[in-house]
């Protein structure tokens, strides 16, 4: 069964495909389904932005769609960059530019005060207006430099049990990540919906 994913982020899409395939689902991006419009993320929370994306794609395609919004929340920065994670260093900032800005903002923060969490909200929107929501979090800390070659976004500086997300294998990351947790919960909710 195909599931429409409301994202243009190649890293996120790869993770969806990897995690959904063993469950018998094929993740299809909105652009692959013919919806290529930019969706303005005007929500104040990850859940609001996920719902905006899911509803926009569902409405345009006429089929159920999953929207995801996620980001990094750093304790020493009052929860920033939060919903602005992808554009922390500017509207069209690269992952590297966002990481540079983050490390610069934390340059004088000691190791014990560099706590952070990745958070992900997922919303499944249906053509009849119904929706399901799931949230996942992963707590860790921010390192002092980039480590590892995997992942995307802030993965090279997000540390969990002494390793960065970019140093974990795909399987290890999927097991502990905010997106993995949110997706597994959302799939449980979808299964309950289908079983009714």
Q: Which helix (H) or strand (E) holds 116?
A: strand 115-125
Distance CA 8, CA 169 (A): 23
Residues 6+ apart with CB under 8 A from 106: 74, 76, 77, 114, 142
Q: What is the CA radius of gyration of the chain?
A: 17
Of the candidates 150, 153, 155, 145, the one whose C-alpha atom is nearest the C-alpha of residue 170 is: 150
Q: List the one residue out of 24, 18, 22, 19 whose CA is nearest residue 2.
A: 24
Q: At what angle do helices 10-20 and 178-195 cross, to 10 degrees?
A: 50
Element (H, E) at 53: helix 46-61
Is 38 among the catalytic positions? no
Catalytic choice (36, 68, 69, 128):
69
Q: Residues with Cβ < 8 Å from 156, sequence gap 6 or more?
A: 99, 146, 147, 148, 164, 165, 166
Would you please indicate which residues are annotated as catalytic (active-site) residues? 69
């Amino acid at each position: 069964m195909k599931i429409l994913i409301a994202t243009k982020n190649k890293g996120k899409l790869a993770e969806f495909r990897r995690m959904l395939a063993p469950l018998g689902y094929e993740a299809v991006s909105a652009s692959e389904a013919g919806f290529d419009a930019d969706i303005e993320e005007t929500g104040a929370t990850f859940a609001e932005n996920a719902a905006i994306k899911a509803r926009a794609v569902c409405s345009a395609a006429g089929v159920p769609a999953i929207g995801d919004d996620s980001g990094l929340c750093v304790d020493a920065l009052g929860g920033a960059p939060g919903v602005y994670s992808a554009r922390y260093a500017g509207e069209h900032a690269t992952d590297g530019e966002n990481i540079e800005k983050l490390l610069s903002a934390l340059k004088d923060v000691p190791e014990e005060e560099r706590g952070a969490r990745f958070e992900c909200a997922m919303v499944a929107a249906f053509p009849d207006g119904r929706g399901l929501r799931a949230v996942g979090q992963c707590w860790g800390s921010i390192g002092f430099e980039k480590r590892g070659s995997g992942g995307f976004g802030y993965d090279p500086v997000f540390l969990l049990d002494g390793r960065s997300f970019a140093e974990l294998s795909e399987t290890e990351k999927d097991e502990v990540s905010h997106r993995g947790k949110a997706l597994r919960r959302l799939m449980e909710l979808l299964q309950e919906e289908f079983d009714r």
